[in-house]
Amino acid sequence: MPQPGPATVRSRVRIPLTFSDGYRAEAEAVTFHGLTDGAEHLALAFGEVPEGGTPLVRLHSECLTGDVFGSDRCDCGPQLRESVERITEAGGYLLYLRQEGRGIGLYNKLEAYSLQDSGLDTYDANTALGLPEDGRDYTAAAQMLTTLGTTGIDLLSNNPDKAQQLADLGITVRRRVPTGVHLSASNVRYLRAKAERTGHSIELSRLVG
């Protein structure tokens, strides 16, 4: 995979965050010029990395239904909340990537939900629409990290593809740190599909029902 070209910082601004459960965190939001896909991806810096330490980084793909409206069909909202707290404690970055529906967009994601309701899993529903199972490309994320001076990270993710893509793009992933299992009655098939189909590090023993 070719190494991404340079990007530059466009702006930095402090944003105090308060989550629905009352948890508060202070973020520095960083925007960029020159990202390869032209999307408005955002880096949020939390906490401080100890001297000689490795930043903890989460690549979080935008999920309007989960992140904003609290949908139980996925685990995105709880993963976002968990990630902010863990990164604040360790020091590092949350990259909020504009890749709704694993890169297929909001409307397509909602159409895929309809197919899931008829029995398809999250991946087969995408392909039934003529779309990729996972259309995400992390070149812009590698650019963002490089621009921030971060070429070696601990990756907060259950997804082995994220680690592999970053490594191919010149980012050293020292270790992959799994998130918790955020299980609900509505997302158990979704989580099981991620574990069985694409090797996500999710404890299948917890996925009951």
CA 107 to chain centre: 19
The Cα–Cα gap between 182 and 113 comes to: 19
- The residue from 73, 134, 154, 192 that is catalytic is 134
Annotation marks residue 161 as catalytic:
no
- The residue from 58, 86, 102, 136 that is catalytic is 136
Annotation marks residue 197 as catalytic:
no
Residues serving a catalytic function are 134, 136
